[in-house]
Amino acid sequence: MHDLKLIRENPQRFKEGLALKRATIDLDALLQLDAQRRQLIVKIDELKARKNTANDEISRLIKEKQNPKDCIASMKTIASRIDELDPQVKVFDEKIHQILLTIPNLPHESVPQGGMEANKIVAHWGDKPVFDFKPKTHIEIAEDLDIIDFKRGTKLSGSNFILYKDLGARLERALYNFMLDLHTSQHGYREMAPPVLVNPASMTATGQLPKMKEDMYHVQADDLYLVPTAEVPVTNIHRDEMLNEDQLPLCYTAYTPCFRREAGSYGKDTRGLVRIHQFDKVELVKFVRPESSYAELDFLLDNARHVFQILNIPHRVLLLASGDLSFAAAKCYDIEVYAAGLDKWLEASSCSNFEDFQARRGNISYKAKDGKKKGFVHTLNGSGVALPRTMVALLENNQTPEGEVVIPQALRSYMGGLEKLTRR
């Protein structure tokens, strides 16, 4: 959420930033409401001053044993008018608040301008695997090895749900345990295990509500949402809190299943693991000082890439253009992994700096050692990493002519020493 005062003082900057984000927000209507609200407050303040003067006059008249009847009547009229106007301020407050919730974050000045076509590849790592046979897709591999059951997943829950089986389930568990161990032991993150159901306030603070309501799974009876990412509960750990500056940065990691309806995406990548409604992900979340947030974004990106480097998965990093940024992000890097069977680059991680956008929505501030408030923290998050497309790349890039899959060295201890996936 943005500071209304900042919008009022820099309307052109916001209009230009929103245009770069390809957002259609009527800022003039917002500023008109703000002006009307401030005029109303001036009127109420004038009435309150008159009421105070009348009270003083009544006290004087009583002290001097004069009749205050007319003055009391005048004071009651003023008080009645204040009572009429005060609720109108609350109406303006609510209207302004609802509009502010719909205004996306502005892109950082270092972000390329344009849509997806303006995204920039800023880094590459690893070589695409070369085979002397036609590589299979992960769907064929999973079915041949009997490690993922797509049909029964659909039977259990519907399209775009899957059932991991046997070594597939064990490999999935190995992946997120490996990632959690890596981020906690080598990257300095503190592990959290948050709820996977969150309240609307949590979803609003991180920016999923109201913008992306249709993409969320909502438990109407309890007014709770299944988490679309662990970013939501982990960022909200410090909602409505004031942190100490010497605590920062706070770095958390968490594994959760994630749930996304993907409203409007039906018909896209409907087979396999590329687009599913429930998936596992390890998340990285940071609360940092504003002046260090972009350096922290680089560290966050390196932490996520380290997962792919250890697993020997070729990947590239894209700096997203302004029109391709998420609602809450000021700057974002996508990490895409290469999958040999599909012969495609697949997004498996996004690393974003939200600056103070989420912190304002969630009221997450920080104070200096002397106890004085210094402002809002900056929040960052990144997938560290999402498992479905990582699994796609792992299966497709490590397949053998015999139809087996070589398990990366880093995962073997989690797989009981197993070196290859074979049909059992």
- The 10s digit of each residue's pLDDT in 150-168 is 999 999 999 999 999 999 9
pLDDT at residue 118 greater than cutoff 90: yes
Contact present, 319 and 312 (Cβ < 8 Å): no
**Predicted confidence band of residue 140 (pLDDT cuts 50, 70, 90):** very high
**Does 116-421 match 4-102 at the fold level?**
no
Q: Looking at domain 116-421, what is its CATH homologous superfamily?
A: Bira Bifunctional Protein; Domain 2 (3.30.930.10)
Q: List, as one string, the DSSP characters of 18-77.
A: HHHTT----HHHHHHHHHHHHHHHHHHHHHHHHHHHHHHHHHHHHHTT---HHHHHHHHH
Classify residue 303 by its DSSP letter: H
Of 50-64, 70-84, 400-414, give the range with the top mean pLDDT: 400-414
Q: E strand or H helix at 244, and its extent? A: strand 241-244
- CATH 1.10.287.40: does it fit domain 4-102? yes
pTM reported for the whole predicted model = 0.93
| Domain range annotation of the chain | 4-102, 116-421
Q: Cα(302)–Cα(273) distance, rounded to whole angstroms? A: 25
Percentage of residues of the chain with pLDDT beyond 90: 92
Mention every residue, 6+ apart, whose C-beta is less than 8 A from residue 179.
255, 282, 307, 384, 385
Phi first, then psi: give them for residue 208, nearest 5 degrees: -70, -35
Q: Which residue has the higher pLDDT, 61 or 128?
A: 128
Kindly state the tokens that stand for 353.
């700096």
Amino acid at site 333: Y
Give the residue from 408, 405, 98, 382 showing the smallest Cα distance to 252: 382
Q: Cα(308)–Cα(182) distance, rounded to whole angstroms? A: 12
pLDDT for 268: 59
The pairing of strands 373-376 and 378-386 is unpaired
Q: What is the mean pLDDT of residues 91-99?
A: 97
Amino acid at site 424: R
Angle made by CA atoms 180, 186, 187, in degrees to the nearest 5: 80
Q: What is the mean pLDDT of residues 185-200?
A: 98
